[in-house]
Amino acid sequence: MTRHVVVTGANRGIGRALAEAFVANGDTVSTIYRGGDLPDGVTGAIADVTDTDAVNAAFDELEAKHGRVRVLVANAGITRDGLLMRMSDEDFTSVLDVNLTGTFRCVRRAVNSMMRERFGRIVLVGSVVGLMGNPGQVNYSSSKAALVGMARSITREVGSRGITANVIAPGFITTDMTDELPADTKKQYEATIPARRFGITQDVAAAAVFLASDEAGYVSGAVLPVDGGLGMGH
């Protein structure tokens, strides 16, 4: 039987490449997403990750079709950049609610199934700025740094049940999220990246496929940078 892999937000960007890579890997792939078109071979269930009931219902719907989830890639995320002194409570809490609490909602539901399977691979999409920091991203970097603590606590809690939890920390990857950056800001960032370029979504997907593999069963609580050397392994 093929593995049931759930990727959040597979309609575009990194999530789309993640879903495509798991399809190519021979897995049964589904997504929890808010709308839009999906890659071939990917089953969707609509939910906003800020809505606990909707997330739980989406997992129920997908598991009824494809069996218990064995791999979760928590990818859905947003930015709402601004300088600290001008950042509203809403700008802060809305980013935390998607990137951190949204991930928690998905992980909590997925672990329920993984415990029964006595197998699980949890991959959280963090960010290089979670550990390096970035001006204008106090909300976003806080949410991404917290995922490291989450993965490590999950590892300590359920690591004996065949479940691993790791964080991928992408650097700058070309997607809608980074397309919003002004051209001169992109140039400045590129100059600081040892690889001197932004990454592509497939770079992140390849790392996720590895962390989700059977062979990565002894890798847990790790942060895997995919950043062209920007964070120097943190």
Identified binder of ligand NDP from the candidate list 77, 120, 225, 228, rule CB under 6 A: 77
Window 21 to 40, contacts with ligand NDP (CB under 6 A): 33-36
One residue of 96, 177, 219, 222 binding ligand NDP per CB under 6 A: 177
Among 3, 4, 5, 15, the residue binding ligand NDP under the rule CB under 6 A is 15
Question: Which pairing describes strands 42-46 and 28-33: parallel, antiparallel, or unpaired?
Answer: parallel
Query: Among the options 33, 140, 189, 218, which is catalytic?
Result: 140
Residue 189 falls in the annotated catalytic set: no
- Minimum distance, C-beta of residue 140 to ligand NDP, in the bound complex (Å): 7
Asked if 19 touches ligand NDP (CB under 6 A), the answer is no
Going from the C-alpha of 21 to that of each of 17, 208, 228, the distances in angstroms are 6, 9, 20
Binding of residue 133 to ligand NDP (CB under 6 A): no
Task: Work out how close the CB of 183 gets to ligand NDP at its nearest, in angstroms, rounded to a whole number.
Answer: 16
Would you please indicate which residues are annotated as catalytic (active-site) residues? 140
| Residues at the contact surface with ligand NDP, assessed by CB under 6 A | 8-9, 11-15, 33-36, 48-50, 75-78, 98, 102, 125, 127, 170, 172-173, 175-178
